Amino acid sequence: MAEVRLQKAMADAGVASRRASEKLILEGHVKVNGRVVKELGTKVSNDDAIEVDGSLLERESKVYFLFYKPRGVISAAKDDKGRKVVTDYFKDIARRVYPIGRLDYDTSGIILVTNDGQLANLLMHPRYKVNKTYVAKVEGLVQNDDLKHLRKGVKMKDGHFSARAKAQIISSDRAKNSSIVSLTIHEGRNHQVKNMFEAIGHPVKKLKRESYDFLTLDGLVSGQFRELSRDEVKMLYEHARQNAKRK
């Protein structure tokens, strides 16, 4: 059975980064098969029981899915109001998976679902500037000047200025007084897209996330998911690490 360094096994299980796991080991928080281990070189296999401050690590194999979230589904593992949640679609998967990041209840589109805490931590880190493309149906006829504002950055109601973005009008409907606009951003603040459109006076009526980094919804219909390939997972890790190095 393959052996890995203790700090890697801890990071893979989503305990903390490798560096932070090393600190936990050195400080005596970690036991392997019931014994405190303080040596960083210690190798462990899947059969070894690792405890951090008395809690046993779950070391199941990692799974990664790309899910096309329908509107009307909460992007969480459970909802106290009993509404449908993303993990309801993954009941047949013999792993405890959860979505990475969030999409609003009334937003549809791409969301990643995994049991890999390390990848989830990396992708949700504010420094991970992955491009996400949204298609929004908004009220009113969006003008080129509006796009310029979106591209440069607008002041949102939380006081924050959005970073540079890509924006393009896909279509306008004079009769219905609405427009369809594609917006690519790399930030992930709460209700970011809705707040950006609100800031330019065109509230969002419908929102869909069409891509996440290099991943798209191709081949899926709403409510379906597919497993990510090894190469796709590798690429997400690579992009996340490159961003973590940047500043």
Which residues would be at the binding site for ligand URA (CB under 6 A)? 103-104, 107, 191-194, 207
Catalytically active residues are 104
Query: What is the signed CA dihedral for 89, 128, 119, 189, rounded to 10 degrees?
Result: -40
Query: C-beta of 195: minimal distance to ligand URA in Å?
Result: 6
| Nearer to ligand URA (CB atom), residue 97 or residue 193 | 193
Q: What is the DSSP annotation of 37-72?
A: ---TT-EE-TTS-EEETTEEPP-PPP-EEEEEEPTT
Q: How far apart are CA 49 and CA 144, in angstroms?
A: 60
Query: C-beta of 201: minimal distance to ligand URA in Å?
Result: 16
Judge residue 221's burial from the number of C-beta atoms within 10 Å of its C-beta, 0-12 exposed, 13-18 middle, 19 or more buried. Answer: exposed
Query: C-beta of 73: minimal distance to ligand URA in Å?
Result: 11
| Nearer to ligand URA (CB atom), residue 191 or residue 226 | 191
Would you say 123 and 100 are in contact if contact means Cβ atoms under 8 Å apart? Answer: yes
| Nearer to ligand URA (CB atom), residue 10 or residue 165 | 165
